[in-house]
């Protein structure tokens, strides 16, 4: 698995308008401006480390090197970081759509990056301010005791639950089917 690659067939566009706004799209509007646009909800859910101790949150995507080595005109990236609205890790959630600058966005990611190289550079004072401002939330901010957090607290107990709840819209790859 290469960091930075993913499958997102619906993200291969860059539209400026939208005829039929959804509640989720509208919820990401941060102003009263009648011309303001929402955003497609793109939540990146990751554990801070992959198998073998490889950090998931990295400074440079492997896709950049792959693109160069393969002679591609651009790096083969399916979803660019500025399209991601939320990053959810075992450490917390960063509401990236609320970021007011690239520096703030980076600080938000670092705050939920755990003990990865990126996470080790977070500033505790900045993290505290991000929490106060509602830009990130840690488990305790959501009423979850880290010592009691187990998979049993999850609403979905299986991939089959996700399929049922989506009315069949979610069609997982065969390797994730256990029913």
pLDDT on residue 83: 83
Note down the domain range covering 162: 149-179
Give residue 101's pLDDT. Answer: 95
Average confidence score pLDDT of the chain: 84
Arithmetic mean of pLDDT, 60-74: 91
114 and 173 both lie in a single domain:
no
22 lies in some domain = no
The answer on 84 and 60 residing in a single domain is yes
pLDDT-above-90 percentage for the chain? 37
Tell me the pLDDT tens digit for each residue of 6-25: 554 455 555 566 667 788 88
Same structural domain, 128 and 174:
no
Query: Does one domain contain both 159 and 133?
Result: no
The DSSP result for 146-161, as a single string, is TTT--GGG-S--SHHH
Task: Decide if 11 is inside a domain.
Answer: no
Q: Are residues 79 and 153 in the same domain?
A: no
Question: How does residue 46 score in pLDDT terms, banded at 50, 70 and 90?
Answer: confident
- Residue 159 has a pLDDT of 81
Residue 177 located in a structural domain: yes
């Amino acid at each position: 698995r290469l960091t930075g690659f993913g499958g997102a067939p619906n993200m291969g566009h860059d539209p400026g308008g939208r005829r039929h706004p959804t509640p989720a799209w509208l919820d990401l509007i941060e102003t009263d401006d009648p011309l303001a646009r929402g955003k497609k909800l793109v939540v990146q859910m990751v554990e801070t480390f992959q198998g073998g101790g490889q950090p998931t949150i990295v400074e440079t995507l492997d896709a950049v090197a792959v693109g160069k080595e393969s002679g591609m005109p651009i790096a083969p990236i399916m979803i660019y970081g500025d399209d991601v609205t939320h990053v959810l890790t075992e450490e917390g959630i960063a509401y990236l759509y609320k970021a007011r600058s690239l520096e703030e966005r980076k600080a938000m990611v670092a705050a939920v990056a755990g003990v990865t190289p990126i996470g080790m550079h977070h500033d505790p004072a900045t993290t505290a301010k991000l929490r106060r401002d509602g830009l990130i939330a840690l488990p305790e901010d959501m009423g979850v005791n880290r010592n009691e957090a187990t998979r049993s607290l999850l609403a979905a107990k299986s991939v089959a639950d996700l399929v049922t709840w989506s009315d069949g819209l979610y069609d997982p790859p065969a390797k994730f089917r256990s029913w």
